[in-house]
Structure 1
């Protein structure tokens, strides 16, 4: 659906060039919600703006639905851009236009008949829950309502792709969750491909299918969110997850908790239905090992439940080793924290 090939974006003049993206490759499948996470300055905003060529790459190719956008002339590019909607961090609404007129704006640009505009905008107002606000101006709306107008406007031209540029970072947590639920509903209802950039792991964890971690203009890690979140490989990814879960503090407590030579700390990860099974307690009954829970959490990654426990096993070393082996044989991920 979307393929970025050796994408490079530089700013400035020869001798003083700043490289925002460097030889970046990325593939996004049709119908998925794909997240890109990175710190400020990592290149994520440049990346998403290169997808619809609001930023033209210095080199490389941008393919969307089988079309190489970087090889098109301006007129052809305008036509392809209508298939790509975009919502922004600061809403970018027309302050002097009503909610209705903001949503109708892209339809009027392509000279859509008035009756069709009325039908389409009314449907979108219902979709985003703003029927009662159609004649209000942006200054009369909350931040969440403004973003809902932005989403409706982005959907007005029936796009195949929706780009979200830090779409929730200006919102409070409760409003963020409501916008994420709306995006998830839109994805499922229209089978719309959504590319979402953020610096918040919570956003990725809530609705994304896959994620790429961007750092210094390159992708350092990518994969299914469950895999990247639960088994991060790059230090930048681990930092995002520590900030989200406070697992760094739990690790410190595990290392410094009172222990003996016959004890061992481990992080156990449960995924899917195993999250709610009594695997740990049944296993230690079989092996005769005692354990203390130092930290624990249960949450979800999109629709998938997961649990993580940091425990200290106590008993004979062979019995502890057998316990870890049995847990792994039953499909649990066990990381010994020596």
Structure 2
């Protein structure tokens, strides 16, 4: 649905040039929710604005729905942009227009008949839960309500793609979760392709199918969220995961646990459970079989989108052969086992 080929974006002139994106390649499949995460200044906003050519790349090709946007004239590009909705961090609503008129605005611009506009806006306000706020102005709305207006407006032209530019970063955690649930519902209900950029791993973990990590204008890691989240390869990816509050506390807890004196034959192991195995008694079954003693030093259970996962940091104590047998049996049961000390 979306494909970026060798995208480079350079700002400035010969005397002072800043490269925001450098030879970036990215592919988003139809109907998926794809997340791009990166630090401030990594190139996230430039990337998303290049997709609808609000920023024209210095080099490379932008393809959306099988059409190369970078090769289109002005009129053809305007037509294709109607198939790409966009929601913004700071909402970008018309302050002097009502909720109804904000949602109707894209349709008014293209001369849609009033009766069709009324029908469409009514449907969208119902979808985002704002049917009782149609006559209010943006100043009378909460941040979450403003973003719901932004989402309804972005959907007014029946787009195939929805771009989300830090759509939840101005919201509190509870409101963020409600907006993410709404985006997930829209994706499932309409099969809409959603690409969102964020600096929050929680957003990626909650609704995305795949994720790309952007750093210094390039993609440094990419893959299914479960794979990238549970087995991060790049330093930047690990930073994002460990920056999460629970991750920071977990790292400190692990450091303290590792400092406790243990027998020389003990092994410190991180075990990752995914899916239904998260709730199965795999560990207790295996240690009963091998006779190894163990202590759980740290543990978490959570979800990645709809998939449960668990992480345990365990100290195994016993005969070295028995410990190795324990690790082998855990791996046979399709658990991810990593010796960390």
Q: What TM bracket, shorter-length normalisation? A: over 0.9
Q: Does 1:301 align with 2:304?
A: yes
The within-5 A match list for 1:180-199 is 180-199=180-199
Task: Measure how far apart 1:115 and its partner are.
Answer: 0.2
1:165 aligns to what?
Answer: 165
The within-5 A match list for 1:225-304 is 225-244=225-244, 245-246=247-248, 247-304=250-307
Task: Measure how far apart 1:18 and its partner are.
Answer: 0.3
- CA distance in 2 between counterparts of 1:310 and 1:62 reads 44
2:331 aligns to what?
Answer: 328
1:113 aligns to what?
Answer: 113
Task: Measure how far apart 1:228 and its partner are.
Answer: 0.1
Q: Structure 1, residues 87-122: CA drift from partner, whole Å, max 9, x if none?
A: 000000000000000000000000000000000000
- CA distance in 1 between counterparts of 2:256 and 2:205 reads 25
The within-5 A match list for 1:126-137 is 126-137=126-137
Task: Output the TM-score relative to the length of structure 2.
Answer: 0.98
> Unaligned stretches of 5+ in structure 2?
none
Tell whether the 8 Å contact from 2:254 to 2:297 is kept in structure 1 after alignment. Answer: no
Structure 1 vs Structure 2 CA RMSD: 0.8
- CA distance in 1 between counterparts of 2:18 and 2:170 reads 27
Q: Structure 1, residues 180-231: CA drift from partner, whole Å, max 9, x if none?
A: 0000000000000000100000000000000000000000000000000000
- CA distance in 1 between counterparts of 2:253 and 2:32 reads 33
1:37 aligns to what?
Answer: 37
Task: Measure how far apart 1:253 and its partner are.
Answer: 2.9
1:6 aligns to what?
Answer: 6
Task: Measure how far apart 1:251 and its partner are.
Answer: 3.5
Q: Structure 1: which 4+ aligned runs deviate by more than 3 Å?
A: none
Tell whether the 8 Å contact from 1:8 to 1:23 is kept in structure 2 after alignment. Answer: yes
Q: 1:314 pairs with 312, 317, 323, which one? A: 317
Would you say how many aligned residue pairs link Structure 1 and Structure 2? Answer: 338
Query: Which 10-residue stretch deviates more, 238-247 or 271-280?
Result: 238-247
The within-5 A match list for 1:24-173 is 24-173=24-173
Task: Measure how far apart 1:237 and its partner are.
Answer: 0.3
Tell whether the 8 Å contact from 1:36 to 1:198 is kept in structure 2 after alignment. Answer: yes
- CA distance in 1 between counterparts of 2:183 and 2:329 reads 41
Task: Measure how far apart 1:15 and its partner are.
Answer: 3.0
Query: Which 10-residue stretch deviates more, 82-91 or 248-257?
Result: 248-257
SS in 2 for 1:174: helix
Q: Structure 1, residues 155-178: CA drift from partner, whole Å, max 9, x if none?
A: 000000000000000000000000
Task: Measure how far apart 1:248 and its partner are.
Answer: 2.5
